[in-house]
């Protein structure tokens, strides 16, 4: 079983982006389990500033930290939200927030909590 390091992950993303060309304001990327936002911020340097980056995490502290980090790093096309992909949170925010995309060009995740035994 191969579990990528952050560098391996970024190399794979670079190859994907070179082939896909995510660059317009129509493009959007979701980072599932964004944590502090580091993966989204590294990705922000690789895509157009017009591309919307949305991070989601179930941990409100992680969401607050990611948004503070984005502001500190002046990454204006990123927003973190407290949401879960398993239906544990209220999704009504997606429906009523105009600046959050409803469709995504790319969904990324680098979850540190998955144990290798569970994957095999």
CATH number at residue 87: 3.40.50.150
Q: What is the pLDDT of residue 1?
A: 42
**Does residue 40 lie within any of the structural domains?**
yes
**Does residue 18 lie within any of the structural domains?**
no
Q: Say how many domains are in the chain.
A: 1
Q: Would you call 109 helix, strand, or coil by DSSP? A: strand
For residue 96, name the pLDDT band (cuts at 50, 70, 90): very low
Q: Could you list the residue range(s) of the whole structural domain that residue 43 is in?
A: 25-110
Q: What is the pLDDT of residue 43?
A: 87
Average pLDDT over residues 42-58: 88
CA 103 to chain centre: 13
Strand order across the 28-32 sheet: 78-82, 52-57, 28-32, 106-109
**Does residue 14 lie within any of the structural domains?**
no
Query: How far apart, in Å, are the Cα atoms of 96 and each of 7, 84, 105, 113?
Result: 36, 17, 21, 31
For residue 79, name the pLDDT band (cuts at 50, 70, 90): very high
Q: Does the pTM exceed 0.85?
A: no
**Does residue 34 lie within any of the structural domains?**
yes
């Amino acid at each position: 079983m191969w579990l990528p390091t952050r560098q391996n992950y970024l190399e794979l993303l670079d190859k994907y982006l070179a082939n896909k060309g995510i660059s317009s304001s129509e493009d959007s990327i979701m980072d599932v389990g964004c944590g502090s936002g580091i993966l989204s911020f590294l990705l922000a340097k690789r895509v157009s500033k017009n591309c919307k980056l949305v991070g989601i995490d179930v941990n409100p502290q992680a969401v607050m930290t990611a948004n503070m980090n984005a502001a500190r790093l002046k990454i204006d096309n990123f927003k973190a939200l407290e949401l879960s992909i398993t239906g544990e949170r209220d999704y009504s925010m997606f429906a009523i927030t105009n600046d959050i995309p409803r469709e995504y060009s790319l969904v990324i995740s680098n979850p540190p909590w998955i144990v290798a035994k569970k994957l095999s």
